[in-house]
Every structure is written in C-alpha cells, then in structure tokens.
Structure 1
Amino acid sequence: MESISERIASEIYDKSYAIIDDFISEELRVSLLKEQSELLEAGKFRIAAVGKGEKKQVRTEIRNDQVLWIDSDNLNKFERQYWSKVEEIRKAINQRCYLGLKSFEAHFARYPIGSFYVRHMDQFQQVLYRLVTVIIYLNDSWEEEDEGTLRMYLPQEDGSEKILDVLPKGGRLVVFMSGEIPHEVMPTKKERISITGWLRDID
C-alpha cells in the first residue's frame, strides 16, 4: 500500500503539487500552535522581509506577515516530530522525482487580521536552491468566511492558468514545486498560523 509520503511524491511528479489533510496528529498540531503562541508573546517574531542579502527589505505593500525561523540544529521534541515526517517526504520525492533534495529549512509564519502576501514565486535568483515548498497549517479552525486562502496559479498546457484556492485548515499540508507555481496569500479575516518551509538541494 502506498504511504502518504509516496502519494505526495506521485502527485508532485504528476501535477507539481499535493494537498494532504490531517497530515499531523491533532496533538502535534496543538503543541506546535502553543509553541508559536508562546514565542509570539515572548516577542520573538519579526515582520517578514522580501529579497535576500543586500536586497533584503521590509515591503509591507508586498507582504505583511510575521516570521520566526526555526533552528534545525536545535529542534524541540515537537519540531523534531514534524521534521521527521518531512524527511520521509524528502526521501520519497527524491526516489520518484530525482530532485537531489538534501535539507529542509522552515519558519513559523503568522498572518495577523488583514495581512496578505501578493503573488510571488518561492524560488528566485538568490534562492535557486529552494526546490519544494512545504506548508503545514496550525490553526484551530477555519471557515470559508475567514478567507486568507493560499491562492495557487496552476500553469496549464495551453499557456493559461487555473486558480486553486486552499483554505488554511489546521493539520492540512500543502506541498508544491517552488519554481513552478506562483501563489499568494489572500487577505485574512482571522489570525493565520503555519510552518512554511523549503526542501533544498544544498546542505
């Protein structure tokens, strides 16, 4: 029987993205959400920037979420549980798609009410090593009226795009090719929490 990681790899191979509900246990989701909340209260989050290196700058007209990078060399037990599940995905994608993925980096991402991130690609000139985007949503609940969807622009064979809106429901995993699928976070009417990361072809 095909494992969840193998299913993700197959869908990445076939259509460049995969969406899996209840990817992590409710216990792990709640623990990671609690950790995020405590780190936020401790003032650890920063307004996200765009660009890399010397070109890095805060541009709130482009994105106004807040982030906190997770130290992969110093994971707590809950982060370790999640990292090990992503590691299974990394191995499965490498086996199916031969991408040479070597490592994972990620941050907590918090979108306060009214925040957004305009259309962009996760792989650009300074970060060509980001090959696969991996997002796990941690929210307690999410309804259509809360908005804040992940809007993916899926390229079609005729050159057009198909729009796919994904609600950030807690426990839902979204995986896609970083250099192939433009996307944006639509303005949210509720605080929106995730761990957003990238599988990379560098150590």
Structure 2
Amino acid sequence: MEALALNPLYEKVITDLMEQQYSIIENFFIADEVLALRESLLAKYDEDCFKKSAIGNMANEIVIEAIRGDFIYWLDEQDCNAAEQAFFTKITDFKDYLNRTCFMGIADQEFHYAVYPPGTFYKRHLDSFQNDNRRKISVVCYLNHEDWQPEFGGELTIYKTVDGREEELNIYPVQGRMVVFESQLLEHEVKPVKQERLSITGWLKSRPEVLF
C-alpha cells in the first residue's frame, strides 16, 4: 500500500484540534480563491438570493433576531460556479485527509454564505443540535474586504475552559482567515458588527445514526 504523503498545512490543523480544539489558518485558500468567493457571495446577495437565518434545524427552525441576525445562502455542491467548486474541491481533500489520518468518519459536508449587516450578531451557542449530533468540525472562512479593522467588530469569540476557568478567545474576521473548531465542544458567538461582515461557513458531518 502506498504511504500517505503528509500535508504540513493539514497536519497543523490536526495538531491544533488535538491540543486546543480549534485552529486558525491564514493561507488555507490563496488570495485569488478568496476574492472569487467574495465576488460570488456579493453577486448572489445583490440578486436577493439570501434568506434570514434561523436557529434550530429542520422542523425546529425559527427566526429570532435577538439571537441571530445574519442572512445566509446555502450552497449546492452539485450546482455551483467555478469559485465554489474550487472551494469544495479543497474542502473535500481536507475532509478525506482527516478520514485517512484520524479515522474521523466524516461522510458529508454543508456550507453556506453568510452576511452580517451592521448592527447584527449571533449570540453564544454550540453548533451541534440536541436532536442531531452529526456536525463534527466547524469551518468558517472570512470574505471581508482586505482592510478589515478591529474597530469594525464582528469578531468570533470562542469560549474555552482551561484549568477550571473560562477563557475567551477573540478572532477577527480578516480576509482569507479560516477558523476550524470542534462543533460539539466549543461554544462561540459573533460579536456585533459595525460594517458588513462576509463569510463562507459550514460543517463536516458524520453519517446519521442507524436505529435498529
């Protein structure tokens, strides 16, 4: 059997996940890929393709603006443009690498564009649902303009318990930055934004449980 060639970037993400349950990567996607995704998002947003986001899943979905204020557009991997296909190709390669090296059993993926208008936010939450625990790894890549400043807000705040004390990690949505973290372990929130905040966000998921 041919030995698996190690990917240094993927290995860094895996090491980070094992040691701290999250990873921050600045160069997962090249600049041209990020800009192409940004243009695709903005085009769909201008065409009024987005819908108000909800909390919960499937039949339990409900829009509560006091908790979440972004607008989203779900991506269809079988019907997407060149920029989105390049994104899915790289994400799939990463997913396959995780399965081969870490035996994670990831079988599916789902992603959407997200736009936070000024004044919106997403209160503290966990990405895993009470009635569906298939989400294993959360992934977000920021598509903001290149001169995003801390005073614009919109940071991703991750909550971690270290030595019995809760700590907050604030991650600013700099263009091209990608954050990967464990969906079932880390509560997080998006702080209020003062300028439009753009991203592509999604999850790597396991197979549904089969009940006998």
TM category, shorter: over 0.9
- The aligned counterpart of 2:40 is 35
Paired with 1:20 and 1:162, the residues of 2 have a C-alpha distance of 21
Matched, 1:56 2:56: no
Q: 8 Å contact 2:144–2:197 — kept in the other structure?
A: yes
Matched, 1:152 2:158: yes
Count of aligned pairs between the two proteins = 202
Q: Give the match for residue 138 of structure 2.
A: 133
| Aligned-CA RMSD value | 1.5
Structure 1 moving runs of 4+ over 6 Å = none
Instruction: Name 1:26's counterpart in structure 2.
Output: 31
Q: Could you tell me the percent identity over the aligned residues?
A: 34
Tell me which amino acid in the other structure corresponds to 2:70: D
Q: Tell me which residue corresponds to 1:80.
A: 85
| Cα contact 1:148–1:185 (8 A) shared by 2 | yes
Is 1:7 matched up with 2:12? yes
2:131 counterpart SS class:
helix
Aligned mate of 1:47, from 52, 55, 61? 52
Q: Deviations over 1:91-140 (max 9, x none)?
A: 23224432211121000000000110000000021331100001110111
Equivalent residue, structure 2, for 1:16: 21
Match of 1:71 in 2: 76
1:201 matched to 2:209? The reply is no
Identify unmatched segments of 5+ residues in structure 1.
none
CA deviation digits over 1:37-76, x for unaligned, max 9? Answer: 1101111001101112222110000001000000012222
Distance 1:73 1:144 in 2: 37
Please report the TM-score for the alignment, with normalisation by the length of structure 2. Answer: 0.90
Aligned 8 A contact 1:47 1:64 in 2: yes
Q: CA deviation at 1:80?
A: 1.4
CA distance in 2, matches of 1:14, 1:87: 23
Letter in 2 for 1:114: G
Q: How far is the alpha carbon of 1:161 from its aligned partner?
A: 1.6
Q: Which residue of 1 aligns with 2:112?
A: 107
Partner in structure 1 of residue 125 of structure 2: 120
Q: Supply the distance in 2 between the matched residues of 1:200 and 1:133 (Cα, whole angstroms).
A: 9
Cα offsets for 1:136-171 (capped at 9, x unmatched): 101113111111100000122x33221100000111
Q: Which has the larger displacement, 175-184 or 9-18?
A: 9-18
CA distance in 1 between counterparts of 2:141 and 2:160 reads: 20
